[in-house]
Structure formats: C-alpha cells, structure tokens
Structure 1
Amino acid sequence: MLTRVIVFIISLACLVHAQISLPIIPDPSFQLLSGEIIVAQQLNSWGIKIGPISLNLGLDLGVLGLKLKKKRDDENRRSRIRSFTGTETELLANQLEQENGKIENESKKRLLGLDLGLLNLGLNFGGSKTSSSGQSKSKALIILNLDTDLSKLFSWGDADNVAKGERGDTEWFTYISIGTPPQSLPILPDTGSSDLFIFGPDCSSCNLNTHNYFKPNQSTTYKNISDNWNFYYADGSGALGYTSSDILSFGSENNKMVSTEMKFAISTEIGGINKDDFKQSQRSGVLGLGLDSMSTIKQGSTLFSNLVKSNQLTENILSIRLQKGKQYQGNFYEEGQGQYTLGGIEENYVVNGRNGLTWTDVQSQYYWGITMDDILVGSNSVLNQDTTTPRRAIIDTGTTLIITSNSASSLIHGNIMGSWQDAQSSIWYIPCTTSYPSTGNIFFSISGRKFGVPISDLAWKKSGQYNGMCISGVQGGMDGFTVLGDMFIKNHYVVLSYGSEQDGNKIQVGLGDRTDIPTIL
C-alpha cells in the first residue's frame, strides 16, 4: 500500500489562533470498489432496503445480507451476530446474550457506518507531538486547512489514477490527537453521528498491523471508565469495546495548546460481513459531530460541544467547506480538498461574506435537522406534486450523496431524460452526459432561498454495469427526512452554530453560496 506523507503547519497568534494545513491525497485502497457497491453500502447504513447487486467482482450484496433494517429488537440482533464467523463473532454473541434492555431510542439514533468503507480522505484536528505544558485557556479559532496540495511531492503512478476514478468525492477524512503526549489517529468526521470511536491495542479484528491505534498506556492523562460499549450496524455487523476519557489536543511547536477532555469508545472487537473493509482503508475510527442527544456513550458529548462548553472558541460555530474534485461525466481527475473551521467563518469563501449566510433553526433533537421548503428541478417544484415527503432535511458530512423519499426521487428523475431505476437494486442512474441547460439544475429551498446542485454533479460516478450511465447523486428510500450529504455540502458553505447568550444559545444552520463555485442557475 502506498505510504501517505502528511505535512501540517500550526501557528498560534496571541489569541491562540491555530492553523493546521495538510493535503487531501487520493486513497488507493478502494480502487476495486464500484460505485454500485458504495451506494448499496451507504443506503443500507440508513436501513434502506436494497436488492441484490451482482457485479464482475463476484459479489452479491443481497446474499451478503444487506437487506437488514435499523429497527430491530434484541433477539434479532442476537441472531444476526450469531450468523457471523470468527472468534470475534463468538465474543459479540456472548456479550449480547448478557444484555437485558433495549437500546434507548435506537430507532432515532444514527448508526455509525464504520463498516461502509466510505470515508477515507483527510482533515487534521491533531497537531504535532508536543508536550502539554503551557496550556492556554484563551479562546481559539481552530482552522483545519485542506487547501495545500502536496500531491506533486509524490510519484503515485497509474494506481493513483484508478483510485481517483473510483473514490472521487466519496468522503473526506481527518486526523485527531488524543492523549498526553498526543497520539495522532485517522478518523472520519461525521455530522450525522455523535460518538468518537477509535481502535484500541487489544482489538484482534482491527488489523492493527496496518492501522494506527490508540495506546492508553502511553498517555499520562488517560482514564478508563470501563463502561461496556457496543454498536450495531445496519448490515448486521457490530463492534464491542469500552468507554474512556482523555485529552483531545490542538498543539503547536511553541508549547501552546488548545485542548478539551472528552469521552470516547475504544474498540476491542469488530465483527460482521464488512469488517474486512478495515484491512484496506486507513481510518481508525469516527468523530461524531452531531448533537449530544444522539450519543450512545453514557453522558457523552462531541468534540464541537466540548469546545463550546469549555468556552474555548471565538464563536460557537463549526464551518465546513468541502471543495469538490475535478470530474467530467463520472470520471474524476483530481481529488477535492477543503477546510473545517472551529470557531470562525472563512468570509472570503462566502458570497457577500458573513452577511451572505441564510440562517435556519435546528428542529431535531439529534441531527443538524432543518425545515426544507421545497425541492426543484429547474423551475419545476417536486414537493408541490408530492404531499407525502416530509419537508425536513439534515446536514450530514458522513453521507456521500443526497437521499430522499422514493416519491421525491422518482419525481426528480422524471425531469432527467434517460434516467432510470434498476429494478433489482433500486439504484437510480442518469446518462453521464446529463448537463445544464438541456436539463435544469436541482435546488433545495430553505428559509425562502434556493441552494443549487449542478445537474452535471448528479452524474456522480460511472456505472460498473451499464455503459454510458452514471450513478445518480440523488437516491430514494428515506422516509423520515432528506439527507443533504456531501453532494449538497460541497456546493455551499455550511456553518453549524450553538449560538450565543445574546440569541438564547439558539442552535442553527447557516448556508451560503461559495465564491469559488460558479453561480448555479
């Protein structure tokens, strides 16, 4: 496997303004995964039923049991875990047999898709390995800069081009630093979940020989809480471990540091049909950035929430700018980049700066969920024709595409000439040549303002089965709300806000047009 070299620069001003920069470099680990498999896995992470998909890889996702639903009782979970193979499966089954109660509000919680093999590009919340001396209580603007492109420093060869074509604009990943001194780990940031989960040293099924993992005995600030922890995934896989607490830090070479103590889960076993994804991917966990109510860890909270509560940010906001990769008709030629900013807004990337943001209140207890007025293709309203689709949406960096109801998805694709839905898999396809103005762009109306996605973006990835067809960036099957994943986020500037005392700590989402993206007509 190709080795990644990560370069980051950290600078802290008098207010401990830290800037961390690193490139997003193509991940060659998924060059064998077709877009069909990626979409099937992602839809199933939301409990959306999908039929078998037979590919040249000799893999039948239906046979693999991807029809399982999120909502299930204890007995169903036991029976599914028993169907796994390997020693880790027996451990899972034995532990599950000892459980007495159901997971509270399980049907309302997002199941972390660690087995999906989707989130493998990069951010970096961590810093260089420095001591914890000189910790500062000053408020910080923490910038996670992904704009530096160092790909020319490496000779990737043809394998990189193949990986780009398969991976393009699937997801972005990052590094965090945990412990004292800091240990850097690759994780995926996910605004659709609320737990931090990482590999531990005793995880025999985590492929530790090819992955970074957290070493508790090397941290002087580590605390073992020892509460049992488990996750159950939509495809029937699962993970076991225990909860812990330590320092997440943002350090610099001048011995100044911004840090927060928080709870997280350490895995001891992973089981299920998709656990082999970890053998190829580089990630070692997930960083949830949703609302605290969705956390499955006892009295757990997110990194974002912790920094807000400890009054360490200049503003109680998290800004997200995902820069799309260069692609044409389903082929990607250059990976995207981007930046996450804790505590500030990159006003130069927002049309009309801060004043160009449209704010809307969060309505959900768990997600960054907002009211959606309408969906349009060109000037044609979708929701005026569809009275069943809820006018609700969530902002989710952990989902690659846009997922809406079956009825809304059908109406959207009814406006795209040549689009069709595979009868077996339920996956929507559109011609790779689909473009504006022959087909209108798609818009999501929020707080009276339209936020667009170019129709050419919807030709997301070339099909591995059907010549000339691309997997659509909009898929159906979501009954409760529309998931505005990275297909939407990469076309806008997104700000998540916990508010201030002046506005009653109102939780809101801000959306703005980007200065680096042409106007979407």
Structure 2
Amino acid sequence: MKWLIVVLACAALSEGLNRVPLKRFKSIRAELREKGIHLPYSDPALKYLPYHTSTFASSGNEVINNYADRTASPPQCTYYGAISIGTPPQSFQVLFDTGSSNLWVDSSYCSNQACTYHTQYKPQSSSTYYSTRQTIYLPYGAGSLYAVLGYDTVNVAGITVPSQVFGLSTREPSQPFLYERFDGILGLAYPSISSGQATPVMDNMMQDDLLQANLFAFFLSRNEEQGSELTFGEVDQSKYQGQINWTPVTAETYWQIGIDGFQVNNKETGWCSQGCQAIVDTGTPTLTCPQQFLGKLMSSIGAQQNQYGEYMVDCSETQNLPTISLTISGVDFALPPSAYISAYYQSGHQVCTVVITSTCLPSQNGQPLWILGDVFLREYYSVYDRSNNRVGFATAV
C-alpha cells in the first residue's frame, strides 16, 4: 500500500471552516533506507485488487497480502494527524486515505506487536461504544489486517460524528504496520468499496448534514515544511492560486478520473490517446505509472536502474531534466523535476532518485491506470466533491 500517510495533528476550527493541520515526518522506512537497508518493491495498486476481483467483503482474498514495504522509492515523508473516538475521547494518529473507505484503529482486542506498539482503542473505557460480531478483512497495497466492527462517537477536525462504525483491529502483521507511526486509517473513498458495508465517516457527515458543502480538500506541504492541511466542508483559498479545474469521477469507487494525455517536455507521448484512468490517492507517496510506459518514461528522463530496482539520476543534472505533464479534462498539470526527483544522503553521498514507480493493474475498463499520489498532490491542491462527484485541482501555494 502505498502509505501516504496523511494524518492530522490537532483540530483547528475557524469561522465556517473545519480545518485540520497536517504534520509531516520522515518515515521509519526512510530512516532505514538512509542506513543502507533496502526493502523490496510493492505495487501500490495491490490495494485496489479486492475491488477488481469482487472480493471486497467481510472475507478477503489473501493473495494480495504483501508484507514487504510499499515501494522501493527513496525516503518518503509521511503526513498524519489526530482524531478521537469514544466518551471520554481517546486520541489516535491516523492516515487520511482517499484510496480506501473504512475507518479502523489499533485496539486492545489485538495482541500482535504491531498493535501493542501503538495507541490502542479500549472499548471498555468508552460509555458510548457498542459492539457487533461482524469481522472484516482490510487489504492494502503493503499489507492487510483483520478487525471487528463497532460503533462509537468519532471526532474529526472538530466535527462530531455520533454512532460511527469503525474497525477495531484484531490481528495485524508486523510488516508494515509495526513500523508505521499511525494508529489507524480513515478512508475517504466511496461507500461502494467499504469492507463489511460499513458507512464511511464522510458519508455519515453528509447524512447528518454536518458540513456546509459535501466536500473535503487536501494541501500537502513540500520539502518537509509544516502547514499541511485537510479541510472538511469548504476549500481553503489561502492554500492555492488561480482557479480550481474540475474533472468528473469516472467510477464511484475510488476517486477515479480520466487522463487525456501525457507529455514529456511539452511533447505528447500518445500513451493515453485511447484513454487512461487515474486514482487520486493520498495514501500513495509516489506518482505511479502504468508498467508498460515506465521504461520509456525513464529513458526520456535519462534515469538508470540500480541493483534495487530504483531509477537513479545524476544529481548534478537534475535542473536539466524534462518537465512531465498530465492532461486532465483539457488542462495540463505539469510536474517539474523538483517534484519527481528526491535527493537524500546515504553514507555521506548525495543520491538522487526518481519517485515514479510502476503498477501492473489496469483500471476496471482495461485502460492504463495511473495513481496520482503525493508527488502530484504536493504540487496541486486537491478538492473532492461528493455532491457533484468530481475532483478539483489548483496550483498549490
């Protein structure tokens, strides 16, 4: 699973705007990488496999279980923050994930080290909790877990959602959950892909008429700066410039949209001449390219593959690398080299690698599938409009 780990540090309210500031940290995997420990590549799109095989239900297809790290990319920064569950409230750090739909947290029902290492929800400590006996399986790109569904009061960005269904983890593998800094995941995709038919948090907000507008938006900061933010109910105009460009959702499952074209240095490649699809996914740290195009793209960038499968470039040449662009609903969204090249130090030497990875999974209609993860979303403020089933992008400040 890719692990865009977007989580909110504390609830911040301003007039008419429910806003959560996001903290950004270097992941533990990144720290291991700097010490020369390289973990194998895992296709981020594996998290979407249950939907494609129609097994996204209370029991899952364990063929997707992959306990290796999410990507073979360079050190990634992660985004996460706080929510609370229960009465009195218990606080958790969670990943806000537009690539899944369930809310779950580590719980006292789980005795695995991956659970006990993190903050665990204690149902016996909440006067508003009530349980079910329904067990669910939650598959992600880099791992999977089991949970039992329960109900309790959830507070997100200062918004109180009563009787929210969520998963209490019962079994988790050490890879990757032990090494993550979050205690759970809050999915923000459509209810059609929710395991156990659990109503997502966003849908309960909408049903209870808790929002000014039925949308949410992300701003992800660059270069390890603070100030990342998730807002519910309104956009934050201070986080972008120019206008928001809208594109329709093509499948009400993930936040999936169409891609009209792909250019390298303003030259159209033709890769999407018959149409491509893309999933906008805050849980994936990279830009993910269809496998059949990756070799050509890396060749055009001038990247060379190392022994770990990573694509590297000469750090002295990064300013001369091409700008790449995706065309979405007639608008070109450019990614300069600074967006898709990551520079870091390993054993005292600067290393530069391309944070574009591959996926072999096509979209539901068979068109090539891209994943617009954090590499893209740091450059563009993103808005997710449930009322109109559309996604908006504007240039981030």
TM-score by length of 1: 0.64
Shift of 1:290: 1.0
1:271-286 aligned within 5 A: 271=173, 275=174, 277-286=176-185
The reply on whether 1:192 has 2:99 as its aligned counterpart is yes
Whole-angstrom distance in 2 between the partners of 1:45 and 1:187 = 19
Whole-angstrom distance in 2 between the partners of 1:106 and 1:240 = 9
Whole-angstrom distance in 2 between the partners of 1:294 and 1:513 = 30
1:86-485 aligned within 5 A: 103=56, 116=69, 167-168=75-76, 170-232=77-139, 238-250=144-156, 258-271=160-173, 275=174, 277-297=176-196, 299-325=197-223, 334-352=224-242, 356-382=243-269, 384=270, 386=271, 390-417=275-302, 419-422=303-306, 425-436=308-319, 438-462=320-344, 469-480=351-362, 481-485=369-373
**Match of 2:33?**
33
Is the CA contact (8 Å cut-off) linking 1:35 and 1:462 kept in structure 2? Answer: no
Shift of 1:40: 3.9
Shift of 1:369: 0.7
Shift of 1:399: 0.3
Aligned residues between the structures = 380
Shift of 1:398: 0.3
Whole-angstrom distance in 2 between the partners of 1:189 and 1:251 = 12
Q: Match for 1:343: what amino acid?
A: G
More strand by share: 2
**Match of 2:4?**
none
**Match of 2:3?**
none
**Match of 2:366?**
none
3-state SS of the aligned residue for 1:46? helix
The reply on whether 1:494 has 2:382 as its aligned counterpart is yes
* Pair 1:426–1:241, CA change in 2 (3 A): same
**Match of 1:87?**
none
Shift of 1:32: 1.5
Shift of 1:234: 5.3
3-state SS of the aligned residue for 2:251? coil
Is the CA contact (8 Å cut-off) linking 1:117 and 1:281 kept in structure 2? Answer: no
Whole-angstrom distance in 2 between the partners of 1:455 and 1:33 = 22
**Match of 1:63?**
none
Give percent identity, aligned residues only.
22
**Match of 1:330?**
none
Whole-angstrom distance in 2 between the partners of 1:461 and 1:323 = 17
Shift of 1:207: 4.5
Shift of 1:281: 3.2
Q: Match for 2:250: what amino acid?
A: Q
Identify unmatched segments of 5+ residues in structure 1. 1-5, 49-68, 75-100, 119-165, 326-333, 500-505, 517-521
Is the CA contact (8 Å cut-off) linking 1:195 and 1:264 kept in structure 2? Answer: yes
Whole-angstrom distance in 1 between the partners of 2:247 and 2:95 = 26
Shift of 1:416: 1.7
* Pair 1:492–1:466, CA change in 2 (3 A): same
Shift of 1:266: 0.8
Identify unmatched segments of 5+ residues in structure 2. 1-7, 363-368
Shift of 1:456: 2.4
Whole-angstrom distance in 1 between the partners of 2:45 and 2:342 = 20
Is the CA contact (8 Å cut-off) linking 2:40 and 2:69 kept in structure 1? Answer: no
Is the CA contact (8 Å cut-off) linking 2:115 and 2:172 kept in structure 1? Answer: no
* Pair 1:442–1:309, CA change in 2 (3 A): same
Shift of 1:12: 6.1
Whole-angstrom distance in 2 between the partners of 1:106 and 1:368 = 23
Whole-angstrom distance in 2 between the partners of 1:22 and 1:233 = 22
Q: Deviations over 1:402-455 (max 9, x none)?
A: 1111232222222223x1234x6543323333434x332111111111111111
Is the CA contact (8 Å cut-off) linking 1:71 and 1:106 kept in structure 2? Answer: no
**Match of 1:44?**
43
3-state SS of the aligned residue for 1:202? coil
3-state SS of the aligned residue for 1:415? helix
Is the CA contact (8 Å cut-off) linking 2:58 and 2:135 kept in structure 1? Answer: no
3-state SS of the aligned residue for 1:293? helix
Q: Match for 2:153: what amino acid?
A: I
Shift of 1:249: 1.8
Shift of 1:396: 0.3
Q: Deviations over 1:284-334 (max 9, x none)?
A: 11111111111112x212222221222111111111110111xxxxxxxx4
* Pair 1:289–1:513, CA change in 2 (3 A): same
Whole-angstrom distance in 2 between the partners of 1:27 and 1:234 = 17
* Pair 1:472–1:367, CA change in 2 (3 A): same
3-state SS of the aligned residue for 1:211? coil
Is the CA contact (8 Å cut-off) linking 1:114 and 1:286 kept in structure 2? Answer: no
* Pair 1:260–1:509, CA change in 2 (3 A): farther
RMSD value, Cα: 3.7
Q: Match for 1:496: what amino acid?
A: Y
3-state SS of the aligned residue for 1:476? strand
Whole-angstrom distance in 2 between the partners of 1:35 and 1:485 = 25
Whole-angstrom distance in 2 between the partners of 1:187 and 1:30 = 19
TM-score by length of 2: 0.82
